[in-house]
Amino acid sequence: MKTQVAIIGGGPSGLLLSQLLHLQGIDTVVLERKTKDYVLGRIRAGVLEIGLVNQMRAAGVAERMDKEGIIHHGTVISYGDDQIGINFSDHVDATVMVYGQTEVTRDLYTAREAMNGKIVFDVEGVQINDADTDAPYVTYTVDGSEQRLDCDYVAGCDGFHGVSRQTIPAETRREFEKVYPFGWLGILSKTPPVHDELIYASSDIGFALCSMRNANLSRYYVQCDLSDKVENWSDAAFWDALKRRIPEEHADNLITGPSIEKSIAPLRSFVSEPMKWGRLFLCGDAAHIVPPTGAKGLNTAASDVHYLSQALIQFYDNGDQAGIDGYSAKALARVWKAERFSWWMTSLLHRFPGQSDFDFKMQQAEVAFLKDNANAQAVLAQNYVGLPY
């Protein structure tokens, strides 16, 4: 089999790239190691930057998002019972969209299938070959049968544990990582959200986040120890911990119910450079990870897809390789800014093991500055809605 762009990974970044290229007449094949049902069963973040919202529209997959997504004009930062409302529209004249990553993925699958897009599921043993030559190819196995996919370029959208990043020689890669000394315990519940906007809450006993998927489906998180286990947390224990971390007025209005999903996620910041090697490009989690504070994971993947799709379209339109050659530098410039924002939000709002009184006072001073300074609020708003591509 032969294609122009082989895409490794059938998550939202791989599917969005495939859809954008297809609309410009560029042939792709997507290879996914899991089943479609498995991919759609993954619970992920749901805050979309304006850049991703616009890409969904450009890809022709925004109808359900525009109908069911919830536009957010701001967010709330709380420190104890003290609350800071950050109004995006006042500061940057932009908004974000709350729409689950699973729904983004579902819409993209529907579009690719309607256009007879080539997606191969349950692939095993994927290997990227000769990416540093003019004739790369991908080998893999499906149902015990070995397959070969010849291509012009390979897009690695296969996540942190995929093969794409590891294909780049170790002596060429440089990796940067910070592992945070805590995790997030999250639950999904069929309950109305406690507030119209997301609440990022810091308290003496740790961080909490109040989020939502829709008017009757809420997503909540509390900071926990890395060594903690889901089975240590009953629903009652979770709701109690959440109530004690958010402002009293919201705790009093919180509607609780049985969890329908519960998990613990570790937090890390990670970047691998470069994001291009020969004819192999890295996108999303294959190249970088952010802590979920600030909702940048899916959105940084989307910015990668924007830069890469534009570069490939430019090349296939007129043979201009400037975008391809500059992809890594352009993508990384924005990635590092998103990493900085996520690191800052995480450092500001969490309690760290061994945190000194001085460190605590610095957090308080940072929050006080944010509360009193419109320019500081504007910087937060600008980063939250998404820096321009």
Which helix (DSSP H) or strand (DSSP E) does residue 268 occupy? strand 259-273
Considering 137, 180, 200, 316, which one is annotated as catalytic?
Answer: 200
292 is catalytic: yes
Dump the DSSP string for 188-218.
EESS--SSSS-EEEEETTEEEEEEEEETTEE
Q: Is the previous residue joined to 274 through a cis bond, with omega within 30 degrees of 0?
A: yes
Of 325, 313, 388, 334, nearest to 18 by C-alpha is 313
Give the separation between CA 30 and CA 94, rounded to whole angstroms: 33
Does 306 participate in catalysis according to the annotation? no
Which class for 340: exposed (0-12), middle (13-18), buried (19 or more C-beta within 10 A)?
middle
User: 292, 307, 316, 350: which one is catalytic?
Assistant: 292
Q: How many Å apart are CA 192 and CA 212, to the nearest integer?
A: 8
288 flagged as catalytic: no
C-alpha angle with apex 41: 386 to 162, nearest 5 degrees?
70
Annotation marks residue 22 as catalytic: no
* Residues 56 and 23: beta-carbon distance below 8 Å: no
Which residue is catalytic, options 72, 91, 195, 350? 72
Catalytic-residue membership of 136:
no
Of the listed 109, 221, 316, 384, which one is catalytic?
A: 384
Q: Which of 22, 296, 330, 350 is catalytic?
A: 296
Active site residues: 72, 200, 292, 296, 384
